[in-house]
């Protein structure tokens, strides 16, 4: 554990929320990625966060991996004009809910900001400690 | 962005002058106390322990500065993945430097105070 560990721990939280934002960004970027009905649809990605035991001397959080949160079947949409449409006129769209992604984005953004607020407050606290006895 | 600056300010000279600082007060205060035994640790021990602690502190500052430097290079070359990582490392390096400087300033203050006893 380093000397100013509160700042480092908040940094790990910021990193996890940044990765969550990356996953949301990926999901929204692919929300209209159509595939032929013979292929698998894009699957929604979700970041799996895992706490790092503070007793081990580090603390904080890390990304344990990503999980696929929607099915490969996706949604079948009737789009006969689409170049990828099959004989019946269907294409496969990812089963990603934009509303859910938007609310996740708010949570990820607020979580990131909260961690940065911790960094700022911890820095102020340490600075106050360094000023002990200097105000005479 | 190097710790050499701190050395130039006088962190090491402080450690070097401390033994003489330690020998001064014990020699001067001893007779006043009526031959009472000195504290649990001798002045020399305390001084060298303080010097070692300061050296360790400077080493940890150097490590923090190195980490911040590496991330600054990543930021400049476009390989930095987390913006906050660099800013946090820079902040930690700044705090560690200020802590070392605060410790050094307190030591110099104490030394000057003792020197004023002889005036």
The answer on pLDDT for B9 being more than 70 is: no
Nearest CB to A11: which of B88, B95, B102? B88
- What is the percent of chain B with per-residue pLDDT over 70, rounded to a whole number? 63
Helix axes B83-117, B11-32, angle to 10 degrees: 30
The answer on pLDDT for B93 being more than 60 is: yes
> Which pLDDT score is estimated for B43?
66
The answer on pLDDT for A68 being more than 50 is: yes
> Which pLDDT score is estimated for B24?
41
> Which pLDDT score is estimated for B6?
41
The token duo for B107 is 């030591």
The token duo for B26 is 């014990």
- What is the percent of chain B with per-residue pLDDT over 90, rounded to a whole number? 13
Average pLDDT of B100-114?
A: 89
Mean pLDDT, all residues of chain B: 72
ipTM beyond cut 0.85 = no
| Domains identified in chain B, total number | 1
| A56 confidence band (pLDDT: 50, 70, 90) | low
The answer on pLDDT for B119 being more than 70 is: no
> Which pLDDT score is estimated for B61?
87
Chain B residue numbers touching A15 (CB-CB < 8 A): 82, 84-85
Give residue-wise pLDDT tens across range B25-58. 443 343 444 444 444 556 677 778 888 888 888 8
Which residue in A has a C-alpha nearest to residue B101's C-alpha?
Answer: A130
Nearest CB to A4: which of B84, B95, B102? B95
Give residue-wise pLDDT tens across range B66-89. 999 999 999 899 888 888 999 999
Return the residue in A6, A7, A11 with the most chain B beta carbons within 10 A, the one to mutate for interface testing.
A11
Looking at the complex, report in whole angstroms how far the Cα of residue B102 sits from the nearest Cα belonging to chain A.
7
Domain span at residue B79 reads: 4-117
Give residue-wise pLDDT tens across range A80-133. 999 999 999 999 999 999 999 999 999 999 999 999 999 999 999 999 988 887
Flag whether residue A62 sits within 8 Å of chain B, measured between CB atoms.
no
Give residue-wise pLDDT tens across range A2-36. 678 889 899 999 999 999 999 999 999 999 999 99
More confident residue, B65 or B53: B65
> Which pLDDT score is estimated for B15?
41
Chain A residue numbers touching B98 (CB-CB < 8 A): 127, 130
The strand pairing partners of A62, in sequence order, are A50
Count Cβ atoms below 10 Å from residue A23 Cβ, excluding itself: 20
Count Cβ atoms below 10 Å from residue A67 Cβ, excluding itself: 12
Contact present, B71 and B80 (Cβ < 8 Å): yes
Chain B residue numbers touching A3 (CB-CB < 8 A): 60, 96, 99
End-to-end CA distance of chain A: 33
Four-CA torsion A3, A127, B82, B64, nearest 10 degrees = -40
């Amino acid at each position: 554990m380093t000397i100013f560990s509160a700042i480092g721990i908040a940094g790990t939280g910021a990193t996890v929320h940044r990765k969550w934002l990356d996953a949301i960004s990926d999901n929204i970027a692919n929300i209209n990625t159509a595939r032929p009905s013979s292929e698998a649809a894009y699957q929604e990605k979700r970041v799996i966060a895992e706490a790092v035991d503070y007793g081990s001397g580090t603390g904080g959080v890390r990304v344990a991996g990503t999980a696929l949160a929607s099915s490969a079947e996706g949604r079948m949409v009737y789009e006969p004009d689409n170049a990828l449409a099959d004989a019946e006129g269907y294409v496969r769209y990812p089963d990603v809910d934009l509303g859910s992604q938007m609310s996740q984005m708010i949570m990820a953004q607020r979580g990131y900001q909260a961690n940065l607020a911790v960094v700022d407050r911890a820095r102020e606290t340490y600075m106050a400690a360094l000023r002990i006895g200097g105000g005479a | 962005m190097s710790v050499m600056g701190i050395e130039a300010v006088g962190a090491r000279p402080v450690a070097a002058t401390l033994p003489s600082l330690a020998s001064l007060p014990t020699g001067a205060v001893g007779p006043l106390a009526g031959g009472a035994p000195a504290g649990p640790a001798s002045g020399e021990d305390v001084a060298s322990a303080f010097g070692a602690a300061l050296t360790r502190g400077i080493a940890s500052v150097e490590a923090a500065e190195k980490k911040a430097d590496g991330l600054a290079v990543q930021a400049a070359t476009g390989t930095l993945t987390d913006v906050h990582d660099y800013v946090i490392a820079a902040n930690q390096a700044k705090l560690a430097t200020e802590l070392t400087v605060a410790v050094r300033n307190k030591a110099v203050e104490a030394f000057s105070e003792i020197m004023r006893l002889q005036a």
